């Protein structure tokens, strides 16, 4: 694939507009009774019309067979090779609660867990406590003092929390304390590079103090840490693509991912109508918009086939408002599949459509997994999307003499 | 993709023949009235018959969304990854005028431009002077003396010229003097590596002497240089593929590109009939032929939809002469799209056909952008073409044990 440096050389700023609509978890699997996926079960006249006027294909976010997390799924669509540009688990969890990172921070994902009298882990999730209980426990740990760093301990959901260590000279090259099994002791955090000794000692001090603080809080009497990471320093879209890029995303994690690649995050209401109102209000100020729809993924994760189809219909019904703005390039796809039948992210490729004045319509007349497999894009990696978007917006100069 | 070293290990010389017909700028966009591209508007019974007996697909010369220059477009078809094998702008311009390179030469693309009394550029193209006037000015500069090098200043077209510095120890790692904007002074040429100081000083001396020489030649009273480059040292096709490869190309730039990969360039007339006569005359002496048709691209650049379609029909009508030679492998495609609607190179993928006794026909019955999108090659990179050609000519041994 072409590298960001090579794209940077040929990208130029123009007034043309690109809108990327990501319907989270869009791809599905056929319902056993009907043989149709969630998307194929939904009535989507507006998406079908876009497909008919555009080019279509089946897209792999990371690589065929690979189930993407939210970060790789989105980064690929923003043109950042997800096999090279990594966002650590700790950072991703912190983005998910709108944590405001400083460059020097090191973040870890934490679990409240249960240990027995000998210190062996008996439940890695402490019985999946309530988020409210998690908040209480986090407040207890957030006040701990560790020499040389400012500590943040913040609740995420159920047993999950985020620990952020803010201080100078901290490396994130640290092993997990989470042993990923029961019946053993939590591991010591070990430095994975020569410069990481200080950070390891701080992490271990935190674990020791947390253990002491939680001693009488059975079953939440210990913590496990994993995914130590720092806020990534990726080349921003403004530099690489010469774009003024804006994100319209109601959920913190996606706002955070957008910030990681240098998008401006617009305040927005959470419904598709409110998101499209945000688009209309800000339409003149940017030339690239990422719009994120979360509810499809949530319905898929819940295994609710019909609700996922219904959400897709709601998105379709709202589209005329987007289409009326007449963006030079409209792209609709997802960041990964979430088939209701699997109740989770999956590796299945995603239906994809791109409509522009300068595309060569390929005869696909419906926006569905099956119809898109006959599109002229064929089966393709998501990292192709950004160059194609820029090309169709006439923002790329010729490559090579 | 498989590397040249790996191909080299399995390629063997055989008497079988491969003909690659490059119809420059072949791909197009649908005419707004008919919905058919240039190729789809042309009557092409011979190309359709080849498609029917062959395998088809949609090909990306560089990468989806990337508009190829002529060098990347051709190098990819010759099997040289265009993201790795680069030809500089200066060299390409010089190839375009049949300049005979020595290994030590450094070439730059030049513009005659206009500067005002303060030395600020007011017109980067000096009003697009005639090629005749360009020739006069080049003769004035060609005689300049620069200690330690032989200088060549040669006209290209309108305001464009080539400057070649021939001397020992010259690096081409030099910045452009062309500021790419008006209202500023031309830049000094700066060495981009430690070994390039001598070359930078020579380039700047040339610019200073050119300025003095042109002082009273308003509006052509200054020069701008860019794309300093040396003749590339690519592994030749004879070594990598064990081919005796010949180029039949009436235009200098394409002859030059063929030479860069070690093809023998055959003298030829410019019409398709004359090119095919050249093929017939030399058929026994080579086992790979690259035939280049330029007029399709020129019609596309002119925005002349109908003329482009007509040229395609002329190529089709001449094909029986090629087919009668019964090459083991016939490939027809382009080096990039040049839709008449865009009046220039574009990123759109190209229709591709390969016919051989050993291919597995895929049901495509017409040679067009749309029909090829249903071919068994799917959407694929141009660097796959050469291995496929060799395979279908039974010139490749098994890879790996």
Nearest to A388 among B64, B70, B345 (CB): B64
CA dist., res. A355 & res. A329, Å (int): 6
CA dist., res. B304 & res. B307, Å (int): 5
Q: Which helix (H) or strand (E) holds B23?
A: strand B18-23
Shortest CA distance from B381: residue in chain A: A1
Shortest CA distance from A393: residue in chain B: B65
CA dist., res. B265 & res. B274, Å (int): 15
Kindly report, residue by residue over A246-261, the tens digit of the pLDDT: 999 999 999 999 999 9
pLDDT of residue A396: 98
Cβ within 8 Å, pair A401-B87: yes
pLDDT of residue B1: 85
- Our CA-based measurement puts residue B237 at a distance from the nearest CA of chain A, in whole angstroms, of 21
Cβ within 8 Å, pair B379-A374: no
CA dist., res. B130 & res. B157, Å (int): 8
Nearest C-alpha neighbor of B360 from the set B44, B60, B77, B52: B52
How much is the pTM? Answer: 0.93
Averaged pLDDT, A77-91: 96
Token pair for residue B337?
């799209």
Q: Which helix (H) or strand (E) holds A6?
A: helix A4-10
Nearest C-alpha neighbor of B340 from the set B293, B310, B299: B299
Kindly report, residue by residue over B186-233, the tens digit of the pLDDT: 999 999 999 999 999 999 999 999 999 999 999 999 999 999 999 999
Cβ within 8 Å, pair B37-A374: no
Token pair for residue A312?
């897709």
Nearest to A387 among B65, B345, B378 (CB): B65
The answer to whether residue A1 scores a pLDDT higher than 90 is: no
pLDDT band of A110, cuts 50, 70, 90: very high
Cβ-based contacts of A389 with chain B (< 8 Å): 65
Q: Which value, to the nearest 10 degrees, does the dihedral of the CA atoms of residues B202, B205, B206, B212 take? A: -170
- Quick check: ipTM above 0.85? yes
The answer to whether residue A143 scores a pLDDT higher than 90 is: no
Q: Which residues of chain B have pLDDT under 50?
A: none
Domains of chain B are 4-86+234-392 (3.40.720.10), 92-230 (3.30.70)
Token pair for residue B325?
């030679």
């Amino acid at each position: 694939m072409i590298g960001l440096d090579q794209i940077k050389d040929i990208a130029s700023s123009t007034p043309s507009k690109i809108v990327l609509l990501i319907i989270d978890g869009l791809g599905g699997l056929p319902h056993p009774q009907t043989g149709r996926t969630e998307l194929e079960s939904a009535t989507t006249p507006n998406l079908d019309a876009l497909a008919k006027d555009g080019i279509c294909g089946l897209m792999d976010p990371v690589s065929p067979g690979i189930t993407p997390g939210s970060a790789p799924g989105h980064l690929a669509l923003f043109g950042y090779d997800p096999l090279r540009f990594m966002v650590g688990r700790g950072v991703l969890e912190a983005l998910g609660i709108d944590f405001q990172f400083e460059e020097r921070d090191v973040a870890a994902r934490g679990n409240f867990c249960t240990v027995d009298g000998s210190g062996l882990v008996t439940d890695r999730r402490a019985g999946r406590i309530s988020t409210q209980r998690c908040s209480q426990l986090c407040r207890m740990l957030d006040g701990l003092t560790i020499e040389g760093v400012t500590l943040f301990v913040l609740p995420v959901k159920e047993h999950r929390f985020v620990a952020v260590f803010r201080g100078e000279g901290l490396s994130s090259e640290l092993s997990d304390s989470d042993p990923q099994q029961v019946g053993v002791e939590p591991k010591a955090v070990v430095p994975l590079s020569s410069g990481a000794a200080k950070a390891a000692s701080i992490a271990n001090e935190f674990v020791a103090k947390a253990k002491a603080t939680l001693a009488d809080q059975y079953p939440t009497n210990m913590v496990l840490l994993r995914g130590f990471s720092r806020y990534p320093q990726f080349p921003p879209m403004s530099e690489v693509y010469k774009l003024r890029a804006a994100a319209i995303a109601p959920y913190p994690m996606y706002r955070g991912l957008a910030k990681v690649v240098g998008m401006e995050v617009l305040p927005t209401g959470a419904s598709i109508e409110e998101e499209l109102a945000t688009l209309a209000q800000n339409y003149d100020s940017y030339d690239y918009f990422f719009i994120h729809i979360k509810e499809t993924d949530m319905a898929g994760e819940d295994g609710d086939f019909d609700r996922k189809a219904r959400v897709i219909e709601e998105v379709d019904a709202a589209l005329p408002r987007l289409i009326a703005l007449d963006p030079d390039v409209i792209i609709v796809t997802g960041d990964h599949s979430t088939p209701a039948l699997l109740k989770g992210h999956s590796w299945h490729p995603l239906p994809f459509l791109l409509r522009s004045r300068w595309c060569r319509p390929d005869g696909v007349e419906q926006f569905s997994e099956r119809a898109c497999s006959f599109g002229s894009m064929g089966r393709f990696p998501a990292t192709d999307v950004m160059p194609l978007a820029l090309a169709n917006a006439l923002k790329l100069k010729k490559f090579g003499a």
